Amino acid sequence: MTDVTMQVPLFNQAGDEIAQIELRDDIFGIEPNKAVMHQAYVRQMANARLGTANTKTRGQVRGGGKKPWKQKGTGRARQGSTRAPHWKGGGVVFGPHPRSYEQKMPRKMRHLALKSALAAKAQENQIKVVDDFNLDGVKTREMKNILERLQAKPSVLILLSEANANVAKSAHNLDKVKTLRTGYLNVRDLLGYEIVVMSKAALSAVESFFDTAQTKAVASEGN
């Protein structure tokens, strides 16, 4: 493991800097890989697509079994069915059908994309660490004041180590503010919000996640 060199201020909920906290260099100090971040973002957006659009071919449209008019002698073009694609109410040629847009991406690349997004935020001074993020009730005004004291704007992603209903509900009605548990950390949200505010416990959870992922990767390579 590399030495820890990056430090950021540790704030309390009043917005006061109470200490300096170290960010691990192997996560927050790497050179962000923009290509991998882009690939992970595109994959996440593609995997979110439902792919349920559907159209009927001429064989699936109801009716049209009877020939509209006789083959010859009417002066009109010959027709075999009113459900042919060029007829109103007919089938659709090359229309969409249910499909999966899922894209695959190796685990190591997914983890590199997350690290790159975190590193990009850290190196742009867009990560703010709070010693403890908690409220004794649902208080939207208090949540707004906390974010203002932290100078977290114009958009904020609040990372929590575990579910906290008071914090989540207090932030729910604030514009451009989202709460997210570290277990659901993803590239789209990291890149979609200007400032990342995380509790000290959330920071530890993020670091533990990458430690566990690295241990599993080493174990799988050894088998």
List the domains of the chain with CATH numbers. 6-45+105-222 (3.40.1370.10), 50-100 (no CATH)
Share of the chain above pLDDT 90, in %: 89
Beta strands in the chain (DSSP E): 6-11, 17-23, 127-130, 156-160, 177-181, 195-199
Helix (H, G, I), strand (E, B) or coil at 19: strand
Give 52-103 pLDDT, tens digit per residue. 999 999 999 999 889 999 999 999 999 999 999 999 999 999 999 999 999 9
For residues 198 and 181, give the distance between their C-alpha atoms in angstroms, rounded to a whole number. Answer: 10
- What is the pTM assigned to this prediction? 0.82
Q: How confident is the model at residue 4 (pLDDT cuts 50, 70, 90)?
A: very low
For residues 27 and 63, give the distance between their C-alpha atoms in angstroms, rounded to a whole number. Answer: 63
Quick one: tokens of 74?
Answer: 């009417």
| Other Cβ atoms within 10 Å of 90 Cβ, number | 18
Contact 15, 106 (CB under 8 A): no
Give 43-54 pLDDT, tens digit per residue. 999 999 999 999
The whole-number pLDDT of residue 185 equals 96
Is residue 70 exposed (0-12), middle (13-18) or buried (19+ Cβ within 10 Å)? exposed
Answer whether residue 22 shows pLDDT above 80: yes
